[in-house]
Amino acid sequence: MRRAIFPGSFDPITLGHQDIIERSIPLFDEIIIAVGTNSDKKYMFTLEQRIKFIKETFAKKKSISIASYQGLTIEFCKKSKADFIIRGLRNPADFEFEKAIAHTNRSLSGIETVFLLTAAKTSYISSSIVREIITNKGDYTKLVPDAVRF
């Protein structure tokens, strides 16, 4: 079985995240969307809200499950018996940052990272941009799945 983890804070999930996940489905038997938590980080949405957004977005996808975790992603992978980490790349800076993490993860655990380029139509979207728009009461609805629209 090919099991992969797609880790992130998903604060909130965006159409960019959704695109990467949808395109990953044919590549893996199971995908665990792993919502990371960090007690030092300030989130706009609670862990429960973030998980709810993701569950609603992928409710009809049988090969997708959602879990939360703390600590190292590779430790969560080991616990979940996942051999792959999925990461989306929006730009060259993402690649350089993610490449270093991927090399480290593989060195420490043997877990491979699979990179998918974001679709051109979503490559500019980030959760931080969405949060900024929400904070300033702008129209963010074209950047997120329906489940995040309130």
Active-site residue set = 17, 41, 90, 127
Provide the token pair at 52.
């709810």
The residues facing 113 across adjacent strands are 85
Radius of gyration of the chain (CA): 15
User: How far, in Å, CA of 88 to CA of 65, rounded?
Assistant: 18
H-run or E-run covering 57 = helix 47-57
